[in-house]
Chain A
Amino acid sequence: MSGTASAALAGGAAATTPTARPFSQRMVPYLYVLPAVAFVGLFLLYPMVVTLWQSFTSFDGITDPVFNGLDNYVELFADPNFLLSLRNTLIWTVASVIFPVTLGLVFALAINGIRGSGFFKTSVYLPATISAAAVGILFTFVFDPGNGVINAFLEAVGLGALKQRWLFESPLNTFAMIGAYTWQQTGLNMMLFLVGLQGLPTEPLEAAKLDGCSPWRLTRQIVIPMLAPYIVIATLLAVVNGFKVFDLIWVMTQGGPSRSSETLAVTMYREAFILFRLGYSAAIAVIISIAAIAFSYFYMRSVVRQETQI
């Protein structure tokens, strides 16, 4: 009896083992993921591999690529314009974390739970719905040295001496564009943090309040640590976006004057689509990708490590 039972059990186990299922049935899960895999492979992985290959070639887009080893990379690091562009990219990356993310956090903390904050929320968020190109055009009007709002305002309040050619002096032009970028991006970060704040458990906050915790201490030692996952995401997105910022700069200064406000993405575009040095621009694309991936990896690793320690 027991033998029969164990045989039946064994038979039952065998019947549910995946290897025993018909091939067509085992393939079903793979078929479900196939479209996504094909999509990612065709439109993401394949272009990445081609770009990597092109970065080792001299290629003008109309004749066959010619392998030239590391020439593009050697030229890149000897090119003062590339180094300037790298510097500007770092400024953008740091500034996109400092300004839109911090401001977004401050605004979210300030208005969270306050009645009638809807108008403020909408006003700060609205610019995020405009395309970067439109923001660029809008701010070329704002920064216009002759008739722009800023210079006109400075003139009107008797500070005419502070008038500037905002988009024509380096590094002032980069900071002016970061100002426009902050105007657009702050709302997005604010909304992200508001969502985070509204999802926080109320018990620890109430307990801290009952214990007489001051609002500043409550924010610093309880709210902000609990918001950490949102801060991590916002920072990561800001860094990656800062690294690849292009459209706003292209519309406002085209990287000028004298290439002084170029970032890596602008330099890449210029080399690829104006000078048709596709191999050289692929090398820049590879550098941007490596930097963004490396940052994301180390940042995420350190964050995960901190979380596990907690």
Chain B
Amino acid sequence: MQMIRKLGLAAALAGGLTAPALAADVDLYHDKANWQDAYTKVLGEAPASTEAVPYADTSSYQAAVRASLRTSSAPGIFTWWSGYRMKDLVDAGLVADVSDLWKKYTDAGLYSPSLASAYTFDGKIYGIPNLVAYWAVFYNKKVFADNGIEPPKTWEELTAAAEKLKAAGITPFGATVEGRWPAFIWFQEFLVRQDPDLYNRLMNGEAKYTDPEVEQVFKTWKDWIDKGYFTDPSISFGTAGTNAMASEFAKGDLAMILVGTWYAATLQEAGMSPDDIGIFIMPNQKADMGPAVIFETGPLLLAANSGQAEDAMKVADYWMSAPAQQTWVDAQDFPPVNKDVKAKSELIANLVTEINDGGYTQINRFWEATPTPIAEAAVDELGGFMLQPDTYPQVMENLQALAEKTWAAQK
């Protein structure tokens, strides 16, 4: 009995020792456990004491944050998703308006106002950038050099490269349905490369998934599948455990992977040296179309009802400043968003220069650009198409039925 009491006392003491000595002024909740060190590094210099609180699982994170947002115990700052994925929080008045903060930085010429579009609703801005990534094609430099291929500038050069690689026994492009969501990658890209305006109209419910232009997208996609330009759609991508796509890329059996710039770290983990990885933005199908790039952005949002709201605004101001952003970019190798900040790697630096100097239109990616019920169900339909490409007429019908149901519920 005495032993049990002693153990209980020891446990209580240990519990007391592990509890934080002082609560922070601001909590920053996030679901990106492997970014915790980077957050801690940046927030160490914040004007109010700020603690990053990681959640291991995205779904429980979302549920916990949503449940807290109506109360004063909501975290001062939390990471979220842009576009339609934050719209319901904005509509319910749970997120603070940070338009004034943006004005300070855009007036100083430090931020591009177009970046805020992914967090803007009815002319007001409700988020600051946490992650920005561009969707481009990683290529194995050695494979390109061995086969006499240069990064393609036109659609014809792109298809010629694919043909050449295929003939050499190398799979040109990676594509998979593993983890569900990757099924949207090629759909959004084919749409944007064929007609960016069509992409925008489709995302906003102004075009139909059964339109002939969308059918053309599926036909191009199916043509590439039939020609053997893609990996088997069941190839692992690292969403669950194994990552056959990255290892085939590293071995030189696969030449190109279309994905967000954050995938560079995964490729390096698979054994690629940074010097062997190249990147290019997919060319448009027609040469006279303006340059465009798909981007992805995840915001930091400020909870409107939080008891930490005042301090959170100060931390948000600091977060957007050059010193904080430089620390963040150095830790993560993300494309810089503050114009006083330098990219960490040459790969990202060159890409950002090309996008900024080349006058690229930046297009928000599918996952956030269309209402969540459509995006979530669409990846299942698109995955079905990738596994059985002949089913595309049915997939188009299903997607349109889904879109009509969702848009009807939104009005």
Residue numbers of A with Cβ under 8 A of B are 60-63, 136-137, 140-141, 144-147, 165, 167-169, 251-252, 254, 256-259, 269-270, 272-276
| CB of B384 closer than 8 Å to a CB of A | yes
Bound Cα distance from A257 to B233, whole angstroms: 11
Bound Cα distance from A256 to B373, whole angstroms: 16
Known: A147-B242, A256-B383, A273-B62. 11 other contacts (CB 8 A): A62-B70, A62-B88, A252-B240, A254-B180, A256-B177, A257-B180, A258-B380, A269-B59, A270-B376, A274-B59, A276-B88
| B46-77 interface bits toward A, Cβ cutoff 8 Å, 1 = contact, 0 = none | 00000000000001101100110110000000
Contact in complex: A137, B241 (CB < 8 Å): yes
> Which residue from A136, A254, A270, A273 sits with its C-beta under 8 Å from B179?
A254
Can you give 17 contacting A-B residue pairs, CB < 8 Å? Answer: A62-B66, A62-B69, A62-B89, A62-B94, A137-B241, A144-B236, A144-B242, A145-B235, A146-B235, A165-B387, A254-B180, A257-B384, A258-B384, A258-B387, A274-B372, A275-B372, A275-B376
Interfacial residues of chain B within 77-122, with CB under 8 A of chain A in the complex: 88-89, 92, 94
Bound Cα distance from A141 to B178, whole angstroms: 13
Contact in complex: B242, A140 (CB < 8 Å): yes
Bound Cα distance from A251 to B178, whole angstroms: 11
Contact in complex: B380, A257 (CB < 8 Å): yes
Nearest opposing residue in chain B for A258, CB measure: B384
Q: Which of A140, A147, A256, A270 has the most CB of B within 10 A?
A: A256
- Residue numbers in B under 8 Å from A144 (CB-CB): 236, 242, 244
- Residue numbers in B under 8 Å from A259 (CB-CB): 380
Contact in complex: A256, B70 (CB < 8 Å): no
A125 to chain B, nearest CB (A): 24
- Residue numbers in B under 8 Å from A147 (CB-CB): 242, 244
A29 to chain B, nearest CB (A): 25
**Closest 9 A-B residue pairs measured CB to CB?**
A258-B384, A273-B59, A165-B234, A168-B234, A257-B383, A145-B234, A146-B244, A258-B380, A137-B241
> Which residue from A140, A146, A256 sits with its C-beta under 8 Å from B241?
A140
Interface size range on B against A = 20 to 34
B239 to chain A, nearest CB (A): 9
Nearest opposing residue in chain A for B91, CB measure: A63
Contact in complex: B240, A137 (CB < 8 Å): yes
Nearest opposing residue in chain B for A61, CB measure: B66
Contact in complex: B232, A275 (CB < 8 Å): no
A165 to chain B, nearest CB (A): 4
Contact in complex: A258, B383 (CB < 8 Å): yes
| CB of B333 closer than 8 Å to a CB of A | no
- Residue numbers in A under 8 Å from B62 (CB-CB): 273, 276
Bound Cα distance from A254 to B182, whole angstroms: 13
A72 to chain B, nearest CB (A): 14
Bound Cα distance from A216 to B6, whole angstroms: 56
- Residue numbers in A under 8 Å from B381 (CB-CB): 258
- Residue numbers in B under 8 Å from A270 (CB-CB): 376
Bound Cα distance from A147 to B384, whole angstroms: 22
Contact in complex: B241, A61 (CB < 8 Å): no
- Residue numbers in A under 8 Å from B241 (CB-CB): 137, 140-141
Interfacial residues of chain B within 239-273, with CB under 8 A of chain A in the complex: 240-242, 244
Contact in complex: A256, B180 (CB < 8 Å): yes
Contact in complex: B380, A256 (CB < 8 Å): yes
Nearest opposing residue in chain A for B232, CB measure: A145
Bound Cα distance from A252 to B244, whole angstroms: 16
Bound Cα distance from A61 to B376, whole angstroms: 18
Contact in complex: A140, B384 (CB < 8 Å): no
A165-B234, A168-B233, A275-B372 known; A251 and B380 CB under 8 Å? no
Contact in complex: B177, A257 (CB < 8 Å): yes
Q: Which of B89, B179, B240, B242 has the most CB of A within 10 A?
A: B240
Contact in complex: A141, B383 (CB < 8 Å): no
| B161-189 interface bits toward A, Cβ cutoff 8 Å, 1 = contact, 0 = none | 00000000000000001011000000000
Contact in complex: B240, A168 (CB < 8 Å): no
A145-B235, A276-B66 known; A60 and B383 CB under 8 Å? no
- Residue numbers in A under 8 Å from B177 (CB-CB): 168, 256-257
Bound Cα distance from A259 to B376, whole angstroms: 11
- Residue numbers in B under 8 Å from A258 (CB-CB): 380-381, 383-384, 387
Contact in complex: B380, A62 (CB < 8 Å): no
Nearest opposing residue in chain B for A251, CB measure: B240
> Which residue from B66, B70, B387 sits with its C-beta under 8 Å from A257?
B387
A167 to chain B, nearest CB (A): 7
Contact in complex: B63, A61 (CB < 8 Å): yes
- Residue numbers in A under 8 Å from B69 (CB-CB): 62
A142 to chain B, nearest CB (A): 10
Contact in complex: A275, B384 (CB < 8 Å): no
Bound Cα distance from A128 to B242, whole angstroms: 23
- Residue numbers in A under 8 Å from B66 (CB-CB): 61-62, 276
A255 to chain B, nearest CB (A): 8
Contact in complex: B234, A60 (CB < 8 Å): no
Bound Cα distance from A180 to B92, whole angstroms: 43
Contact in complex: A61, B240 (CB < 8 Å): no
Bound Cα distance from A284 to B241, whole angstroms: 30
Nearest opposing residue in chain A for B92, CB measure: A62
- Residue numbers in B under 8 Å from A276 (CB-CB): 62, 66, 88
A151 to chain B, nearest CB (A): 11
Nearest opposing residue in chain A for B94, CB measure: A62
Q: Which of A140, A252, A258, A276 has the most CB of B within 10 A?
A: A258
- Residue numbers in B under 8 Å from A60 (CB-CB): 88
Nearest opposing residue in chain B for A257, CB measure: B383
- Residue numbers in A under 8 Å from B179 (CB-CB): 254
Nearest opposing residue in chain A for B60, CB measure: A273
Contact in complex: A141, B372 (CB < 8 Å): no
- Residue numbers in A under 8 Å from B383 (CB-CB): 256-258
> Which residue from A140, A269, A273, A275 sits with its C-beta under 8 Å from B240?
A140
A74 to chain B, nearest CB (A): 15
| B367-396 interface bits toward A, Cβ cutoff 8 Å, 1 = contact, 0 = none | 000001100100011011001000000000
